[in-house]
C-alpha cells in the first residue's frame, strides 16, 4: 500500500512539473499557429502589402461571415450631346441599353449665381425611361474655362449661391422625375476641400429626403496628396460617406497634354482602386472606364472613339502590340509620311478592368461615353 501511495505521489509530481508545462506550451503554440493560419488573418496580413487581386488569385478565401454579398453591378453610361447633330449617345442607348442599369445625362452647367444653364434631352430621357433605366442629371462647373476653378470656389464658399444651387438641383431632379443628381465639380481648390465635402453632405441630405440619390464624380488618385492641386480638393472619405456612389475617373492617365502612354494602365488603375477602397465602401465605388483612345504624332494629338480603331487598323495596316504590364493595346501607323502612335481600350483591356472590379467587389462602372463603343465592348465589360 505504501508503495502504491509513493507511486501516485511520484506520478502527481511528474504531471505538475513535466506534462502540464508541455501541454501548456503546445497549446500556446497551437493557438498561435491557429491565429496565423486563419483565413481572415492571412487576408489582412497580405493586404497590408499586396492587392486584393493578388490575394484572391491564390485562393485564400474570406471567412463566410466576412465575405461580401454578391450583387448586380451598376453600369452607368454617360449620355452626351455636343450639338444638335450629335446622336451617337442616343444611338448607343437604343442599341445597348440592355447592358446598362443607369444613365447620366450630361446637360447642366452651374452658373456663378447658382442657377443652372443647359436643357435636357427629351429623346435621351424618353429612351432611358423606355428601357427602365435610372437617370441622373449631371452638373459641371464650366465657366470662363472648362472646369473653372474660380467658379468652383464661388459655388462652394458663397453660402447664398451654394444654397441656390442645391435648391435648383433638387427642383430639376423632381421636375424631370430623375433618380438623382451626378455632381461633376472638378478642379476644386485645395483650400475648398472641406467646403466641397460639406456641399456634398448637404446636397445628399436634400436629395435623400426627397427619395433621390447622389453620384459624385471625382478625379483618380493613388494617395491623398495636398500637393496635388487637381485632386486634393476631393476628400474621398467624406464624399463617400454621404453620396450613394462615387464615380472615380480612372482614365486619362496619359493624354494629348502628356507624354505618350496608356489611357488607363492596369497597375495605375489598381493603385487608384486600392487607395479608394480603403476610405470608401467598395460597393459605392464606380470604376471609370473610357471608351476611347489617344493618338500622338508630330502632326498633332487627338482623341479617337474606340469603335473607330478597327477601321483605322485595316485602312493603314497598323502594327498592333499588347503591353502586358499595362494590360493595354497600342498601335502605330503611317499617314501622310508621319508615324502616329495610339493607345486605346479593347475587349482584352476591358476584361482586365472587369476582373479588378470583381476582385475589389466594386459597385460597378461609370462609362465615358455612350456612342464611342460597339457591342464587343459591352460583351467584355458586362456579359
Q: For residues 162-173, give the mean pLDDT.
A: 98
State how far the Cα of 148 lies from the Cα of 160, in Å rounded to an integer: 19
Is the pLDDT reported for residue 266 higher than 80?
yes
- Closest to 125 in 3D by CA, of 179, 85, 163, 171: 179
Q: What's the chain's length in residues?
A: 383
Query: What average pLDDT does range 246-265 have in this prediction?
Result: 98
DSSP 8-state code for residue 222: S
Read off the pLDDT of residues 147-160 as tens digits, 9 standing for 90 and up: 999 999 999 999 99
3-state secondary structure of 295: strand
Task: Tell me the angle at which helices 193-209 and 149-157 cross, rounded to the nearest 10 degrees.
Answer: 60
> How high is the pLDDT of residue 379?
96
Supply the pLDDT for residue 22: 41
* Positive or negative: CA dihedral 151, 155, 161, 167: positive
Contact, 103 vs 77, CB < 8 A? yes
d(CA 172, CA 197): 22
Provide mean pLDDT across the span 40-60: 46
Cα torsion for 125, 241, 161, 122, to the nearest 10°?
Answer: 0
* Whether the predicted pLDDT of 365 surpasses 70: yes
pLDDT band at 188 (very low <50, low <70, confident <90, very high): very high
Question: For the segment 221-245, what is each residue's pLDDT rounded down to a tens digit?
Answer: 999 999 999 999 999 999 999 999 9
Which residues have C-beta within 8 Å of that of residue 35, sequence separation ≥ 6? 41
Q: How far apart are alpha carbons 253 and 265 in whole angstroms?
A: 7
d(CA 248, CA 236): 10
pLDDT for the residue numbered 232? 98
Q: What three-state secondary structure class fits 112?
A: coil
Per-residue model confidence (pLDDT) at position 42: 52
pLDDT at 84: 87
pTM for the complete prediction? Answer: 0.83
State the DSSP string of 324-340. TTTTEEEEEEEETTEEE
Q: Would you name the residues annotated as active-site residues?
A: 186
Domains of the chain by start residue, with CATH:
74-291+350-381 (3.20.20.80)
DSSP-assigned beta bridge partners for residue 21: none
**Pairwise CA distance, residues 233 & 227, whole Å:** 10
Identify the H or E element spanning 95: helix 88-96
> Which of these, 254, 246, 328, lies nearest to 283 by C-alpha position?
246
Confidence band (pLDDT; 50, 70, 90) for 2?
low
- pLDDT score of 330 more than 90: yes
Is the distance from CB of 20 to CB of 14 less than 8 angstroms?
no
- d(Cα 83, Cα 137) in Å, to the nearest integer? 18
Residue 90 has pLDDT above 80, yes or no: yes
Q: Are strands 319-323 and 180-184 parallel, antiparallel or unpaired?
A: unpaired
Helix H or strand E segment including 81: none
Kindly give, in sequence order, each residue whose CB lies less than 8 Å from that of residue 197, ignoring residues fewer than 6 positions away: 235, 238, 239
Residue with the three cell numbers 508615324: 339
- Count of other CB atoms within 10 angstroms of residue 225: 11
Looking only at the bridges linking them, the beta strands covering 134-140 and 102-110 are parallel
Amino acid at each position: 500500500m505504501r508503495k502504491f501511495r509513493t507511486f501516485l505521489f511520484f506520478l502527481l509530481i511528474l504531471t505538475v512539473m513535466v506534462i502540464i508545462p508541455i501541454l501548456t506550451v503546445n497549446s500556446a503554440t497551437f493557438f498561435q499557429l491557429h491565429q496565423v493560419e486563419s483565413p481572415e488573418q492571412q487576408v489582412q496580413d497580405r493586404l497590408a502589402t499586396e492587392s486584393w487581386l493578388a490575394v484572391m488569385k491564390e485562393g485564400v478565401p474570406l471567412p463566410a461571415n466576412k465575405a461580401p454579398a454578391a450583387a448586380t453591378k451598376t453600369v452607368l453610361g454617360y449620355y452626351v450631346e455636343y450639338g444638335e447633330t450629335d446622336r451617337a449617345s442616343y444611338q448607343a442607348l437604343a442599341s445597348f441599353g440592355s447592358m446598362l442599369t443607369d444613365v447620366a445625362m450630361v446637360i447642366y452647367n452651374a452658373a456663378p449665381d447658382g442657377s443652372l444653364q443647359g436643357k435636357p434631352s427629351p429623346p435621351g430621357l424618353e429612351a432611358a425611361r423606355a428601357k427602365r433605366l435610372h437617370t441622373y442629371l449631371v452638373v459641371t462647373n464650366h465657366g470662363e474655362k472648362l472646369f473653372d476653378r474660380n467658379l468652383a470656389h464661388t459655388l462652394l464658399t458663397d453660402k447664398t449661391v451654394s444654397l441656390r444651387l442645391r435648391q435648383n438641383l433638387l427642383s430639376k431632379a423632381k421636375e424631370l422625375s430623375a433618380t438623382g443628381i451626378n455632381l461633376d465639380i472638378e478642379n476644386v481648390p485645395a483650400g475648398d476641400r472641406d467646403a466641397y465635402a460639406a456641399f456634398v453632405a448637404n446636397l445628399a441630405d436634400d436629395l435623400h429626403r426627397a427619395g433621390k440619390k447622389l453620384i459624385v464624380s471625382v478625379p483618380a488618385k493613388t494617395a491623398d496628396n495636398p500637393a496635388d492641386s487637381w485632386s486634393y480638393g476631393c476628400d474621398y472619405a467624406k464624399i463617400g460617406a454621404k453620396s450613394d456612389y462615387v464615380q472615380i475617373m480612372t482614365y486619362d492617365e496619359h493624354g494629348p497634354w502628356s507624354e505618350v502612354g496608356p489611357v488607363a494602365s492596369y497597375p495605375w488603375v489598381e493603385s487608384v482602386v486600392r487607395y479608394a477602397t480603403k476610405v470608401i465602401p467598395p460597393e459605392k465605388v464606380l470604376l471609370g472606364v473610357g471608351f476611347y483612345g489617344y493618338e500622338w504624332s508630330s502632326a498633332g494629338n487627338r482623341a479617337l472613339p474606340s469603335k473607330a480603331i478597327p477601321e483605322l487598323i485595316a485602312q493603314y495596316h497598323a502594327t498592333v502590340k499588347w503591353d502586358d504590364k499595362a494590360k493595354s493595346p497600342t498601335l502605330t501607323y503611317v499617314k501622310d509620311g508621319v508615324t502616329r502612335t495610339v493607345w486605346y481600350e479593347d475587349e482584352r483591356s476591358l476584361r482586365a478592368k472587369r476582373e479588378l472590379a470583381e476582385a475589389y467587389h466594386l459597385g460597378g462602372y461609370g462609362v465615358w461615353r455612350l456612342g464611342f463603343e460597339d457591342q464587343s465592348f459591352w460583351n467584355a465589360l458586362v456579359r
